Structure formats: C-alpha cells, structure tokens
Structure 1
Amino acid sequence: MIVLGIESSCDETAAAVVNDRRQVLAEELFSQFEEHKPYGGVVPEVAARAHLEHLGPLIEATMRKAGIGFADLDGIAATAGPGLIGGVIVGVTMAKAIAAVHGKPFYAVNHLEGHALSARLSDDVAFPYLLLLVSGGHCQLLVVEDIGRYHRLGATIDDAAGEAFDKAAKLLGLSYPGGPAIQRAAEGATDPVRDLPRPMLGRPDCNFSFSGLKTALRQRVEELRPLSPDMVANLAAGFEIAVTESIADRVKRAIAAARERMPNLTALVVAGGVAANQRLRTCLAETAAKANLPLVAPPIRLCTDNAAMIAWTGLEHLKRGETSALDFAPRPRWPLDEDAPALRGAGVKA
C-alpha cells in the first residue's frame, strides 16, 4: 500500500509518500519561518496564503521524487484538524481534489494522531504505549491503546510547553522559534538559575501548567535588566531545566496511571516539536529507565510537523478499510480522546 500525505495545519507546508513497509519514498517540506519571523509567531492568514502558494508544487515534487503517478497511490491522507483552520482547509481541499479526480480513497487525519503514531512509522512500537505529546500548541499525556483508541491522562491547563518556550525566548531577546533558541542559549550557561518554579510538581493528577513559570521568568528579567549575554544564558538554562523537570514529574505519574489501565505498557513515546529538545530527551530517558520502559523518540524530522506521519496514519486506517467522505469538514479543534473531561484554564489546548 502506498499513500500520499499532506500536512498544512500550522506553518509547515509538507507532502510525503509512504508505503506499508515503513519506507518514506519521498517527502518535501516548505518552512514558513521567514514569513512569520518578523511577527515573533505564526500569523494565521499569512500561513494560509503560503500553504495555498506552495502546496501544489510540493506535491508535484514529492510524486516525481517517489517516481510514481497518482494512479499508483492507494489513498490520499491530509491533516483535517486540529490547527489553523485556513491552512487546514487548503490541505484538505487539495487532498479531496486529488482523490476525486483519480478515484482514490481519502482519509481525514487528526494531526494529533499523526504525532501519536509517528513512533510506529519510525520504530514499529506495539500497542499499548504511553505518549507524551509536547509541541507548540499541545501538551498532553495519552495512553495509545490502538488505532483510533486514545485515553487522555493529562493536558495543559494553560500554555503548551512549546508556546511557553516561544514566550520565554521573546522575554530574553532571543529568536523565533523559541525552543531551539532557548536550547542554544542554555548551552552557554555558567550558572543556571535554579529557583524558577516547577509548575504542578507533586500534584496527584497528570496535568501541566507553564503560565506561572513564564510569569516568574518575566519578573526575573525585569529585576535584572539590562541583561548581559551571560545572564541570558543562565536564565535560558534555568527555564529549560524547570520545564524539563516539570514534564518529567508529570510523566512519572502518568506511567503509574497508565499501568493501572494497561499493565502491559510497552514504551514511553515522546512526540511533537518540543521532543527535539536534547535536555528533555535525556531526562525522559532516565524517567523511562527507572520505570523499566524504553523511551522511543522518533527522529527529529518526524517530531516536528511533517507529512510522513500523516501519510502513515492514513495508511494505518486505510489498511483497516476506514475512509473519510469527501464532504468531511475540517476541524479547528479535534481532541484525540473525545470522552476526556473538559479542562479549565486560560488558553486550554485540550
């Protein structure tokens, strides 16, 4: 089986062709970094226009690189939510058009499920496993029980971790996106700030919070201004350590909760753009080892938004005979666990 995947949920325009032997036959990606850099964050209308301009040529280039025609495909999959609705509409409309013209099945992929199943593309992880989904817009802990079966254990009650990194970088005068900028600055730290708060540490649930940490950093920055390069490095390292330790504490509790539900848990999987952070990966590896679980972290190119994970997710569903109607409506919000209780808090991304 061979599937074309399309990703356009935020600021990455991407297409990929994947087969059922877990081979990425071709992939192309256009990063909108330069378009959004002047604004210090993603502008939805700018993103949608960039998707509209670049998606068609990207798909053509991907198919040429794979050495196949549309007739050789067994299906087309596209991110249909959650995400910036303008960009999602561009990708879904393109996928539906290709499917209709060439008589191929279409599958509307939940972007979060793409992240959830990326480890099955890279590492063939068996169900059930615990997923830490940590990105610019989402921060969740879920038990991945099977294709289409997800149980949420916890999520952010305010900011997502990636969003917090972006805001922290802006406070420190660093570049966008914030995660990589914070990591680079932290590498030069001589005396990391150790007294920033660890939100939710020790709480009995598995939820996250980063708003208070962001506020604490802002107050510290205001106290220390003007910031020297050494101060910036030490604050960046302190912020990175606080985020990492907070996440590790939440993951430790989630492992225990997940094993109550699924005693045969196979792995701890981390996915999403923030999973590229090396300090976080090291800390999670230690947490997983203490729980006698392997840590599976897909390659960085499969952690950030990409079309290969979308193609793979569509393939997993299409193999089960599951398709989406061509009148499927894109969804700006689309929780993986529809039955999870609503969380309260400003900016909740559940």
Structure 2
Amino acid sequence: MTLFWSLVKIYFLIFILRLGLLYLIEYLMNKFKLVLIKYFKKRNKQLIKTDNRIKLIRNLRLELQVENLSFRLTPYLPYLSRYREKQEIGLIINQKNSFIEMIKDYGYMLSPLRLINIVIIIVILEFNGVSLLMYLQQLFSWLITHPGDLRNALLAIPSTVALLLILSSWFSISRKGMLARAKGKVNLEDFENIVKFHKKNRMLLSDISTEGFNNITKVLGYRKRLITTFGKDSKEFDDTCNQLYDFLKNIPKIKELDTFVQEHDQYKDLYPFIFIGNRHLVFQKMQSIYMERDSHSTRLNKLEKIFCTKEKFKNIIKNLKKYYSKNFEDHLDNHIIGVLKEAVLIQEYLNRIHPQFYKRYSLFSVLSFITNKDK
C-alpha cells in the first residue's frame, strides 16, 4: 500500500511538471509566432513596394504555412473562461461551472489509459523496481510451457463471442438501441449534407476565384499609378481610377454563393475532413470569412472585398480618399496585402478540399464489396 501511494505521488508530480512544461512551450510558441508575424508583415510591405509579385505571393504562402505549423505544435492547454466581466444574458445563462470544467479537462489528461500516461506509469514502475516487461515475459513463457491451458482458453472464445452477440442483439432491440440507431442514421444524413455543401461551395468558390484573381491582378497593375497621381492632380487620379474601374468586374456568383451558404447554414461545417487527417489552419480561417458578425462584416461584403469587385473597390478608394488622405499609400498597400492574403487562403482551401471528392479509399472499397454495401 505504501508503494502504491508513493507511485501516485510521483505520478502527480510528473504530471504537474509536464503541465508546466507544456504551458511554457505554449507561451514561447505564441511569443515566437508574434515575432514571425511582425517579420512577415514588414517583408510583405517591402515586396509590394518593389512590385515583386512572385516573391510576395511566396511570402504570403510561407506565412500561412508557418502559422499552420505553429497552430499544430502549440499545445493550447485548457484555461478558465472569464465571463464575470461581461454582463450579456446569453453568456451568463450559458456560463459553466469553471471548477467542474477544469476537473473534466485535467481528469482526461490524467487518465492512466492515455498512451503517454501509460509510458509514464511504466517508467515510474521500472524506477521503483517493478518491471512490467518482466511480468509480460513470464506470462509469455508460461503460455509456451502450458499449451493445454492456452488451448482451453482459445476454446472459450466462440462461446464468449456468442454471448457478446446475444447481448448486442438484446441492446439493439431495446429503446436505447433504437435511439442509438436513429441517431446514427440522422448523423449520417447530416454528414452527407455537409459533404454536398462542400462540393457545391467548392464549385462556386472556384468559379468566383477565376474572375476575382483577374480583378486583383488589375488592381496590382494600377497600384503605382494610383499612388503617384494621388494628391498631385485630382483629375488625373480620377481618370486613373475610372480606367481601373473599366477593367474590374462585378461577380454575380458571389451573391449566389452567399445565398447558397445562407440557405444551407446548418451544414456549413468547415471541419468535415479533419477526422481523416486533413487538419489545417485554413479551415479555421475560412470559418472567419464565412461568419457574419454584424451588418458591416457580412459574408457578401467580405467576399466582394477579397475579390476586388468594381463597386466594392470604388467604395474602398472613396474611403481612402476621405479618411486616409495623409497616408494613402500605406493604407492602400495594407488593403492589397490583406486581399492577397485572403486570396492565398481561399486557394489553399480549394487545393485541400478538391482531392477529397476524388480520393478513393482502398480498404473501404474492399469492405463495401464484401458486405455488399453501397460505396
């Protein structure tokens, strides 16, 4: 009993040390991420001023990949939410007991069934002179020297399987079993609708991107002329703007996409393929593009801004002239860099979502053939 309690104490001590180390890693990773973001921001400004489009796009892609790597490596440990400072009724009603939530989170992390905790337990036992590997070797040796007992144990397997089948059949006809099957069927239908949503969303977004990237190319081409003519001759600046507007196009399919997403909002799950390993920061960032916060930050406005539609870019120039005339160049460059960053993000989403509709899973195909289920 004394050995047991000493093992528990050591286990908790190692857990606390590991938790502290993870918090330290999280803190350092976030600090390092801020340094990198500042570097990429400065580098983007330099590249757009020299009109080096290839290096600018490469830098934006690299920035996205670094952010994704940081997202994957940073632990993001549970923390206690602080709703007390906010008085919104919805937040107060939905507020959970912080202590219970903390017990749930750290109780899961302490679970001896987790692989890393199993390794820690084995190491602790080894240091205390209790070798689990030795016990496993002794068990294996005993099974080799007592084949009769092993044969009797194997003979008991069919009866055990039969018992499990009886129990599962009893569960399947019970109310809980019927409820479980019904929920499974509903979840399957919902997931099929989510996949259909992404297929349509991908097609619309791909068509929009083709026209939108042409708009962005025209804006980049006129950037220097807009900057050089601004503040010198208002007529020359207006003429330059009008020439640019003649090249820019409004994209009707953005409205079609917005309507489609609005009608299928319940299936707008931007993490549909995460369970097969397609986990990327791009899905989380796409969520922020599709989320509508207020009347000034609608999905329609954000997409028109990203793809530089004629009417939206007219409003952008109008606002820059009105509110940012003293530093027009900096704000125009910031706007274009932001547009390019979102365009790179959308293209990365399309690159990652497109293969999912054509990828074949060999194991699933074999099982479908054996069970005669639809693929």
TM-score in terms of structure 1 length:
0.27
- The higher relative CO (CA closer than 8 Å, separation ≥ 6) is in 1
- Give 1 or 2: higher helix fraction: 2
- Whichever of the two has the greater Rg, that structure is 2
TM-score in terms of structure 2 length:
0.25
